[in-house]
Amino acid sequence: MIVDDQQYDVIIIGTGAGGGTLVRKLAPTGKKILILERGEFLAKESSELEDIEVFKKEQYHAPDQWYDTNGEPFSPQTNYSVGGNTKVYSGALLRFRERDFEEVQHQNGVSPAWPLRYQDFEPYYSEAEQLYQVHGKAGDDPTEPPHSQDFPFPEVAHEPHVQQVCDILSKQGLNPAYLPLGLGDQGRTDSEDTGTTPATNQGDVTLKTGAKVVSLHTNPSGSEVKAVQAEIGGQAYLFLGHIVVLACGAINSAALLLRSQNEKHPNGLANGSGLVGRNLMKQQITVMVQLSASTLPGSYQRTAYVNDFYWGDDNFDYPMGHIQNGGGILQDVIFAESPPVFSGLAKVLPGFGLRQLATRSISWWLQTEDLPDPNNRVRLAGEKLHLDYEPNNFEAHDRLVYRWIDVLKAVESAAPSAFNRGTYPRSTMPISVVAHQCGTCRFGEDAATSVLDLHCRTHEIDNLYVVDSSFFPSNSSISPGLTVIANALRVGDHLVQRLG
Ligand SMILES: Cc1cc2nc3c(=O)[nH]c(=O)nc-3n(C[C@H](O)[C@H](O)[C@H](O)COP(=O)(O)OP(=O)(O)OC[C@H]3O[C@@H](n4cnc5c(N)ncnc54)[C@H](O)[C@@H]3O)c2cc1C
């Protein structure tokens, strides 16, 4: 084992939305910071997700094999590179709604309250929108929470076919809104260009890539993490730091804590509550296709969302979820997970190739909050990582799907020459789609019922923090990215103070 001779003020593990944003916040302190990232830099051309070949090669699946509840292996759709999943995400950066922070009764159970409220996150949402250059327009969506600052950039215009749908939706009394999008000169803003790159240029920050952290070692009493063990180029290294921050994503951070068990922490580090890895959530997501009578470009931004059914509708008193259009299907990574959608399309339009099928379709993503269930969890069996996950809240999700089919039918009745009628191939995301994973180390005030305190510091280990999507005590139907970023900025404020 090689022991690095440096002593770092902070070691951050992972460079995704959480880790990449945090290092950007901490770099100006001038403190000595080490970032350990298991992936490498993603070549620029590879992040242009325009080629359907990418899907076939499954380039954005991690090299890992994980196992489902029944022990069936699968290849998780998660990206290991500098920037983490923000290198492959769609850059739809929305705030959670005010009620998402409160206790909400769903059809299948309760979504528990967060220990902090929307007002506590609001300044950090504004800071996050500035940092990630979010383009948007407030005021169209009645569920939009109050903003202390306007979006820093104006909204992105809809592709004409999508504009046509939105116009019809408005006439029907719905409230289609412009999707807030993080966009810079290079395309979608991500936590490499916005986070790690400016941080390494500015501060005393060292980034090591190809550095997979395998274990955290504590002092003999178990009160502090003393060293971080990583594999780099087949060699074991030990790095020493005063403060250690996990930002490996909700599944991998929990797995790392569980793997780092020792005499003082026999069930995994900081796991006196038994909650590390539990309450895994990932939303229920269905992609649905609307067939256009004319050809659309293969690549265009997602720009529209509809939250009219977010908290329910006249026939259903419980939350249903969020809908957004999918952008050019050829650039939509998760679409690769949906062969049933393509086979559905092939039946409707026989003789068309994949590319033609894709360019005759508008995709719609339907997302419904799943509820925390301690039996849904990350579990280790020896070296194997299992995701025990039973979807819940599916009646609400089904309602959303059927409600949206009704809406699309009405759109087609209003413009019969623009859309093919009556078929809506769709597919619900399987276990391997862990894009919206969260919840495995929930934060809270009580050490018996949460893993992290309000600063996302583990209750049990004074110098250990978790700053990725693990901290969510409940989910929402909104995509998680902006909330992970805002929280990293919030925890960053606390760490700046702590570092003096
Ligand atoms: C295809 C796709 C589309 C998405 N679209 C959107 C969207 O439009 N809007 C939105 O809000 N969200 C979207 N998301 C979700 C969003 O990307 C995530 O919520 C966000 O990136 C989570 O941030 P994180 O810091 O928790 O983890 P990640 O971004 O996953 O980062 C974790 C990092 O840790 C590294 N790592 C893991 N294990 C180790 C280890 N042992 N040692 C060292 N490094 C390690 C990984 O390589 C990675 O860099 C999308 C996700 C995907 C996959």
Half-sphere exposure of 317 (CA within 13 A, CB side): 2
**Each residue's pLDDT tens digit, 85-106:** 999 888 999 999 999 999 999 9
Nearest-atom number in ligand 1 for the CA of 77 is 53
Nearest-atom number in ligand 1 for the CA of 90 is 8
pLDDT of 423: 77
Of 48, 309, 86, the C-alpha closest to 181 is 86
The pTM for the full model equals 0.96
Taking CA atoms only, the protein residue closest to ligand 1 atom 50 is 89
What are residue 213's DSSP bridge partners?
Answer: 230
Query: Three-class SS of residue 56?
Result: helix
Q: Which residues lie closer than 8 Å to 8 by C-beta, 6 or more apart? A: 32, 33, 34, 239, 240, 241, 242
Q: Which residues lie closer than 8 Å to 244 by C-beta, 6 or more apart? A: 10, 11, 13, 216, 225, 228, 463, 464, 465
**Each residue's pLDDT tens digit, 201-237:** 998 999 999 999 999 999 999 999 999 999 999 999 9
Taking CA atoms only, the protein residue closest to ligand 1 atom 21 is 85
- Write out residues with Cβ below 6 Å of ligand 1: 13-19, 36-39, 77-78, 80, 84-86, 88-93, 212-213, 247-249, 252, 256, 333-334, 435-436, 468-469, 479-482, 484
All structural domains of the chain with their residue ranges = 2-43+69-499
Nearest-atom number in ligand 1 for the CA of 433 is 53
Distance CA 230, CA 244 (A): 13
Query: Please, where are the H alpha helices in 13-108?
Result: 17-26, 52-57
Percent of the chain residues topping a pLDDT of 90: 79
Question: What does CATH list as the number for 2-43+69-499?
Answer: 3.50.50.60
**Each residue's pLDDT tens digit, 358-408:** 677 888 999 999 999 999 999 999 999 999 999 999 999 999 999 999 999
68: left (phi over 0), alpha (psi -120 to 50) or beta: beta
Q: Model confidence at 334, in pLDDT bands (50, 70, 90)? A: very low
How close is the Cα of 190 to the center of ligand 1, in Å?
10
pLDDT of 333: 47
Taking CA atoms only, the protein residue closest to ligand 1 atom 38 is 248
Nearest-atom number in ligand 1 for the CA of 488 is 25
Of 169, 428, 173, 407, the C-alpha closest to 290 is 407
How close is the Cα of 17 to the center of ligand 1, in Å?
6
The answer to whether 42 and 82 are in contact (CB under 8 A) is: yes
Taking CA atoms only, the protein residue closest to ligand 1 atom 11 is 481
- Whose structure tokens read 């004319």? 294
- Whose structure tokens read 């983490």? 84
Q: Model confidence at 53, in pLDDT bands (50, 70, 90)? A: very low
